[in-house]
Amino acid sequence: MSRSLSPEQAQHIEDLYGPLTQSLRRLIDVTIRSEADDIEVAQAHRLIEQAADLLSSRLDPGPFGVRTTTDGGMLPWGNVAIGMRNAIAPPLNVIRDDSGRATVDLVLEAPYEGPAGHVHGGVCALLLDHVLGATAHRPGKPAFTGTLTLRYVAPTRLGKLRVEAWIDSETESKTIAAGHIKDADGVVTVQAEGIFIRPKAKP
């Protein structure tokens, strides 16, 4: 398959693989929490292996975290934060306002657990890295993490979360951003500051 897809192809793939990925997210969750008996677990294992055989009948040599469309759009693919075909991606749907502020509302459950009942600290870092980075991206000018500093100020409970980020300062080559994670009660649990670099265009 070509790396660049038409918008129609991209929409077809999203419609086809989106529900599959959602089913895989459910499968991961119920595998963690299941108390099924031995026979049911063995049967589920066989069915999963059959599904893997079907899906591996033709494989892209990838991997590709992101693909592009022929009209210049971005198609999240296997990206660990936003990949529509990656069942371990939450995924993050970033909303930006005119000021450059970025916000994500999401729900994290058992697959993202670290301490009992709480989100793993590394997952919190992933969320903040992505959302702070979103303040720095410009059309045709991606930004990459230079530094990311985190302060864990309270435990982050599993469930509904909000991630917010904003621009502290900016130049042509970099954005300095700040942000935090809030739990369902609006309590800030993790604070972050980051420097995001836009590489110079190659001549």
- pTM score, whole prediction: 0.88
Last residue of a domain, one of 89, 114, 139: 89
- Which residues span the domain enclosing 58? 1-89
Determine, yes or no, domain membership for 203: no
Q: What does the angle CA 15 – CA 20 – CA 21 come to, to the nearest 5 degrees?
A: 100
* Residue 146 to residues 133, 168, 174, 198, 199, Cα–Cα distance (Å): 10, 15, 9, 10, 11
pLDDT of residue 8: 85
**Which CATH number goes with the domain that contains 112?**
3.10.129.10
pLDDT along the chain (203 residues), means of 10: 72 90 96 97 98 92 76 81 92 91 97 97 98 89 94 98 96 95 97 94 65
pLDDT of residue 69: 79
Report residue 146 as tokens: 């230079």
114 and 191 fall within a common domain: yes
48 and 31 fall within a common domain: yes
The contacts of residue 20 (CB under 8 Å, 6+ apart) are 85
Last residue of a domain, one of 89, 120, 153: 89
83 and 97 fall within a common domain: no
pLDDT of residue 2: 46
110 and 192 fall within a common domain: yes
